[in-house]
Structure 1
Amino acid sequence: MHVTRLTLNDFRSYPEADVRMEPGAVSFIGANGQGKTNLVEAIEYLSRLDSHRVSSDVPLVRAGTERAVVRAEVVRGDRTALLELEIIPGKSNRARINRGDLPRVRDLVGVLRTVTFSPGDLDLVKGDPSDRRHFLDALLVLRTPRLAGVKADYDRVLRQRNTLLKSAGRRRNVEVATLDIWDENLARLGGELVAQRLTLLDDLGPHLVEAHLRVAAGASANRRDVTAVYRSSTAMDAEERDQHAIAGVLLTEIGRRRGDELDRGISLVGPHRDEVVLSVGDLPAKGYASHGESWSLALALRLASFDLLRSEGDDPVLILDDVFAELDGGRRQQLAELVATAEQVLVTAAVAEDVPAELAGQRFEVRDGGVTRV
């Protein structure tokens, strides 16, 4: 899978842009603030309706304009598809494939698959549990696009249930029947989401071990082993994978914690409270891993994601956003060798010298709002 053409209208800093790309390595070189990351972010957003930079689509629309349009021609095997997304903050976005309107914007998710590695990925190791949950859910959706609907429905139920809990306060007998309905919906959707996360971690685990061995080849033997273990907010059997059984456990725990939830006005049970514990050797990575070990583990998570998606279909488009500046010469070379076999690698860098020779394919200079092939 690769992108052959990207066009933008009023996306981020670009009134317009038109970039034609080839398979293999493609580099966007430019000083900070020139817009190189905006280009790869547009491709990432088409892939999963999400960005590694912002949580809202408002900043994606150029200041002073009402909407942005992103189009990409994507080649998968011997087929080419034109993907289009119209971003309209405060209103419903619109999506098209080959000029045909999609009934739901989220139907665009996964048609183009991307894996992005950026300096912010250190949060996967050092950040809050929400960062690791987001990593899992984003990969889930790329792997199985229909789960975008499950995640959206769960988030909606969670918001509405929290609103009801806040309005009920300490009045324990207020709208109990209504709360029961939301409990059942939260448990049902949460059961499916947790079951899918657990299965994903099962499948990702071997790829993570292998990727980390490659990335941390120079580490001591007792620091090369890594694990990613799901920690539920409920007393769930660690071997349980059936979504209906998990939903039952969640519903029981929700009932047990109802008093606490009414007191605090918030949902205390569900996949939004779960954690993924990453370990290097015998110790949890968060709080114990060095800066270099954290970088290696974050990179291994992304490479494992790429390898998992590749094993189940075409290569995703691999995006390396401003990561080489963070690495020494040896690590740059190592990373370049690890990703060189991808069908398409999109690289952003402030200076051309930061990009290893193995990735010296097609190159663009990004400056003053223009994108010029070098």
Structure 2
Amino acid sequence: MKEARIGIIGTGVMGADHAAILADGVANARLVAVQDFDLGRAENIAASLGVRAIANADALISDPDIDAVMVCSPDGTHAALALRAIAAGKPVLVEKPLAASLEDAEAIIRAEVAAGKRLVQVGFMRRFDAGYVEMKQALASGELGRPLFLHCVHRNAVGPDYLTSELVIANSAGHECDIARYLLGEEITSAIVASPPATRNAPNRQPQFILLQTASGVVVDIEVFTDAQYGYDVRAELVCEDGTVALDPSPATTLRAKGHDGFRTPADWRPRFRQAYRAQLEAWTAGILTRTPSGSSAWDGYMAMLVTKACLHAWKTGNRAAVELPEKPSLYR
């Protein structure tokens, strides 16, 4: 196989963006088909990119001219589609979350273990962001000494109407839960959550402040504020015994106008992580060709869900909650 022929299920915001990146050119990959429950939407994207529109997801997964599948459909469909791809023996990149329930995530783990090979990657694209990669490399170098604190900020301009206080934890904070495990290279063992009052701009949901602790004692704090108004803003600083390393939020240009000196804040996550999404696709397709998977595994997706489960329990009870730590199958070690 000289290139991986990709089919995308779901052509909403994320599916359309992935399709555009693939059509623009990704090493080792070629977009060949898209599918959506709204066939008209899929047909429009297919026509604009010169690929096929397929009527249903099962037909796309079983198509002999498609080597790998991306699942960008609504969260509740992720598990069933991932299981079908595993059954077909095809690599599948599933947008986060891995599944809508822990039971469904566990079914994916069992199916992949039974298949005897890693076929699932979860779309935690921050692992491919240059800033986070450099943070991990700085820690691994030993120059900074032992990690003590990881400070994280996750802000959106305006959250969607369906977003609740619970989903701020269960969905929005999922990226931070994964990136903390990635940067620190260990499991999170406990969670505490504190909630300030809801804001006047979003009276039906609260911002959340999450405090996690890892197996070695590193403290991770996460501010999740989905209605910050000014734009999309992600920050991280790793504080160690002998120094710190932090993300640089500044883009390549500075704007000076009308009494302001600074840079524009992106409206959402896509401009901020544009290069990370491309790097993720390049690594995924290279792994398909070399049979060496990279990125977040199904196990990583499952562990992120277990961390958010503990956070939800802590939020509801007001107490520290332990994170379940099941035995990791040898496939993921």
Do these two structures clear the TM 0.5 threshold for a shared fold by scoring above it?
no
More helix by share: 1
Q: Tell me: higher relative CO, structure 1 or 2? Use CA pairs within 8 A at least 6 residues apart.
A: 1
TM-score, length of structure 1 as denominator length: 0.27
- The TM-score with structure 2 as length reference comes to 0.30
Please identify the structure whose Cα radius of gyration is greater: 1
